[in-house]
């Protein structure tokens, strides 16, 4: 436990700096852009990047922690709590898998082996594969792979992700790299690098396997640091603020019409690092509702206690 916490501390510092810049070769292309400068305190150039998939949790998301949903709970009591958050009529549209990093203890599972459209969670596959095939110091044009991956995940830049997929040899090469990590190649399908295509599919287990393998694989610190941090930065910067999840959830968001996703790590005070994936394909509800439900589940996991 102590080792895990120490490992996450420098990552929190690195991730909080939001290191992410865009080379002119990408910035000059026709993407929706906003002028930014992420290199604070180091040599930098103001550049433009694709507007990210920022979404904000409704302010009343978490309400009263003493309500029936937020009793803290433990793995044995998660099932009814999560059912209440999601709603019984919507459960078949959700896929969830949560387990401990150390030892793979199952915390919660629902439709873990069912395929869903992952939206930008596809970028987890893209960047993980790139780090298996390339050194973080590899230059793509005038930009290091390190900066490329930071932009791809932290800012959810679709142009970056698709170019990175092509650079490493395409979807077939990415799938082979992920298979070498131990990810079941039958559990996901890659149509692009960004996740914009609705032909992409993935199971929650495929994402959890990738995240688990990447925690101890080449490029692990860069990979984790590139993920948005709840309430702090990236596409999670406006979500789960001032809650127990703030600052301890490192996860990739995903957004398409009728699709929301969140997969990553929770640096849990009791269980150590938890690895999780939540995939939702539900066009019957507004996106804001799905985001609220995802964040409530993640908060519940963050507050979880040991079972007596």
pLDDT in tens, 241-279: 999 999 999 999 999 999 999 999 999 999 999 999 999
Report strand pairing: 249-256 vs 201-202: unpaired
CA–CA distances in Å: residue 109 to residues 105, 133, 235, 249: 11, 31, 25, 19
What's the structural domain count of the chain? 1
Query: Of the candidates 253, 240, 164, 161, which has an alpha carbon nearest to the alpha carbon of residue 207?
Result: 253
Main-chain phi, psi angles of 254, to 5 degrees: -150, 130
Q: Has residue 181 been placed in a domain? A: yes
Q: What is the CATH number of the domain that holds 186?
A: 3.40.710.10
Report residue 15 CA to chain centroid gap: 13
Q: Has residue 107 been placed in a domain? A: yes
Q: Has residue 297 been placed in a domain? A: yes
Judging by beta carbons within 10 Å of its beta carbon (0-12, 13-18, 19+), is residue 252 exposed, middle or buried? buried
Q: Has residue 308 been placed in a domain? A: no
- Token pair recorded at residue 95: 């896929």
Q: Dump pLDDT digits (tens) for 38-86.
A: 223 323 323 333 444 656 655 444 544 334 455 668 999 999 999 999 9
Specify the pLDDT at position 73.
84
Q: Has residue 253 been placed in a domain? A: yes
Specify the pLDDT at position 53.
65
Name the residue range of residue 12's domain: 2-302
Q: Has residue 307 been placed in a domain? A: no
Q: Has residue 49 been placed in a domain? A: yes
Confidence of residue 308 (pLDDT cuts 50, 70, 90): confident
Q: Dump pLDDT digits (tens) for 76-102.
A: 999 999 999 999 889 999 999 999 999
Q: Has residue 207 been placed in a domain? A: yes
């Amino acid at each position: 436990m102590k080792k895990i916490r120490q490992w996450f501390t420098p990552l929190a510092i690195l991730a909080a700096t939001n290191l992410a810049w865009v080379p002119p070769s990408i910035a000059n292309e026709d993407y929706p852009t906003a002028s930014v400068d992420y290199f604070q305190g180091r040599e930098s150039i103001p550049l433009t990047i694709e507007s990210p998939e920022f979404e904000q949790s409704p302010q009343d998301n978490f309400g009263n922690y003493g309500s029936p949903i937020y009793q803290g709970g433990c793995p044995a009591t998660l099932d009814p709590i999560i059912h209440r958050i999601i709603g019984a009529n919507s459960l078949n549209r959700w896929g969830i898998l949560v387990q401990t990093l150390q030892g793979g203890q199952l915390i919660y599972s629902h439709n873990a082996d069912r395929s869903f459209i992952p939206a930008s969670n596809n970028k987890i596959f893209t960047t993980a594969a790139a780090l298996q095939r390339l050194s973080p110091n590899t230059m793509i044009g005038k930009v290091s792979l390190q900066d490329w991956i930071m932009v791809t995940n932290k800012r959810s830049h679709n142009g970056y992700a698709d170019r990175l997929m092509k650079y490493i040899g395409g979807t077939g090469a990415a799938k082979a790299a992920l298979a070498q990590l131990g990810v079941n190649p039958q559990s996901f399908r890659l149509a692009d690098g960004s996740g914009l295509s609705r032909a992409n599919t993935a199971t929650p287990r495929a994402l959890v396997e990738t995240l688990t393998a990447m925690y101890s694989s080449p490029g692990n610190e860069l990979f984790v640091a590139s993920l948005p941090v709840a309430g702090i930065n990236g596409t999670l910067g406006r979500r789960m603020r001032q809650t127990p999840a703030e600052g301890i959830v490192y996860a990739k968001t995903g957004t398409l019409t009728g699709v929301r996703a969140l997969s990553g790590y929770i640096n849990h005070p009791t269980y150590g690092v938890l690895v999780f994936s939540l995939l939702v394909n539900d066009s019957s509800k507004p996106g804001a509702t799905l985001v609220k439900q995802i964040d409530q589940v993640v908060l519940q996991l963050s507050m979880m206690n040991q079972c007596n």
